[in-house]
Amino acid sequence: MTNSTRAGFVALIGEPNAGKSTLLNRMVGAKVSIVTHKVQTTRARIRGVAIEGDAQIVFVDTPGIFRPRRRLDRAMVTAAWGGASDADIIVLLIEAHRGLTEGVKAILAALKERAGAQPVALAINKIDKIKAEKLLDLSAQMNAEFDFVKTFMISAERGYGVDDLREWLAGELPEGPWYYPEDQIADLPMRQIAAEITREKLTLRLHEELPYQLTVETEKWEDRPDGSTRIDQLIYVMRDGHKGIVLGKGGETIKGISTAAREEMSEFLGRPVHLFLQVKVRPNWLEEAERYSEMGLDFKDGD
Ligand SMILES: Nc1nc2c(ncn2[C@@H]2O[C@H](COP(=O)(O)OP(=O)(O)OP(=O)(O)O)[C@@H](O)[C@H]2O)c(=O)[nH]1
Ligand SMILES: [Mg+2]
């Protein structure tokens, strides 16, 4: 055999909202990780698979890295660093218009401590938001702070520079057999993807702290003989008042959320979906180990 394949893991790390999930979805060519304009959207590690020539690149989307306060925050940040340590290559995403923030500095300091573990590339994202001449200054400033193996200027949303990044990553990965079958694009269980879709719609429609105080779990999944799927999900909130807000006047809010989520699930699955959402008040869900395992997080990481 003269044909040799390459395969490996690329961790996308960065501050919340940097565009990691947007980039993962673009690389994979499908929406496997939810995206919102709010910080701390992604809660666990999500793998998406891209193929570039003879290379299989497994992108690992991670929660944003920030100063954690709650147990959930700590578990998320630990999951992000765990994603980095398992990877062959790390890509640090920063936002072009925000530049070298305090949060980015903190991440660079942590990267320096584990220096040499893996090569780290820099992706300056959201270049559609700033003028080209400013980008060169930012790139120089970043490279003075850390020894990046390579710097890319991209727009994950518009697709600029993304092909270059993917081609470069493919060439850097070690030779070896592919990790996943050719047609697999994600390794998240369907029921978890479905829960994430609903959480995205909740996060988009609810305000302030509420999105951070709820979680969604898929309770039941039934593929019916008529070709449709029935999905039952629970939305855990912390207070009665929150339940009222999620439901909305006459159930209007939850109805809108349910419709949006159902449509996206149908599209993803390629079959009609009947979605049943139930809101449950669970004051202490943030301290329940089972909630974390459902999210794909380790409860003990929050200690
Ligand atoms: N203008 C612009 N917006 C972008 C770009 N990439 C991502 N965004 C937007 O930035 C916001 C955050 O994107 P996400 O992909 O959810 O960011 P993230 O890094 O995964 O965020 P967390 O999961 O919270 O850590 C969304 O509103 C995206 O649409 C880009 O290249 N240009
Ligand atoms: Mg994300």
What are the structural domain ranges in the chain? 6-172, 190-302
CATH code that applies to domain 190-302 = 3.30.300.20
Ligand nearest, relative to CA of residue 155? 1
Sign of CA dihedral 127, 129, 131, 133: negative
Q: Which CATH class is domain 6-172?
A: alpha beta
- For 61-98, b where at least 16 C-beta lie within 10 A, e where not — what string? bbbbbbebeebbbebbbbbbbbbbeebbbbbbbbbbeb
Q: Which amino acid residue places its CA nearest to atom 21 of ligand 1?
A: 17
Q: Atom 12 of ligand 1 has which residue's CA nearest to it?
A: 17
Rounded to whole angstroms, how far apart are CA atoms 63 and 40? 7
pLDDT on residue 300: 95
Whether ligand 1 lies within 6 angstroms of the CB of 63 is answered as yes
In this structure, the residue with its CA closest to atom 8 of ligand 1 is 19
Choice from 157, 165, 196, 212 to test ligand 1 binding pocket (greatest atom count within 8 A of CB): 157
Rounded to the nearest whole angstrom, what is the distance from the C-alpha of residue 2 to the centroid of ligand 2? 39
159: Cβ below 6 Å to ligand 1?
Answer: no
pLDDT (tens, 9 = 90+) of the chain, 303 residues, equals 446 899 999 999 999 999 999 999 999 999 999 999 999 999 999 999 999 999 999 999 999 999 999 999 999 999 999 999 989 999 999 999 999 999 999 999 999 998 778 999 999 999 999 999 999 999 999 999 999 999 999 999 999 999 999 999 999 999 999 999 999 999 889 999 999 999 999 999 999 999 999 999 999 999 999 999 999 999 999 999 999 999 999 999 999 999 999 999 999 999 999 999 999 999 999 999 999 999 999 999 999
List the residue whose alpha carbon is closest to atom 32 of ligand 1.
126
Report pLDDT for 1. 44
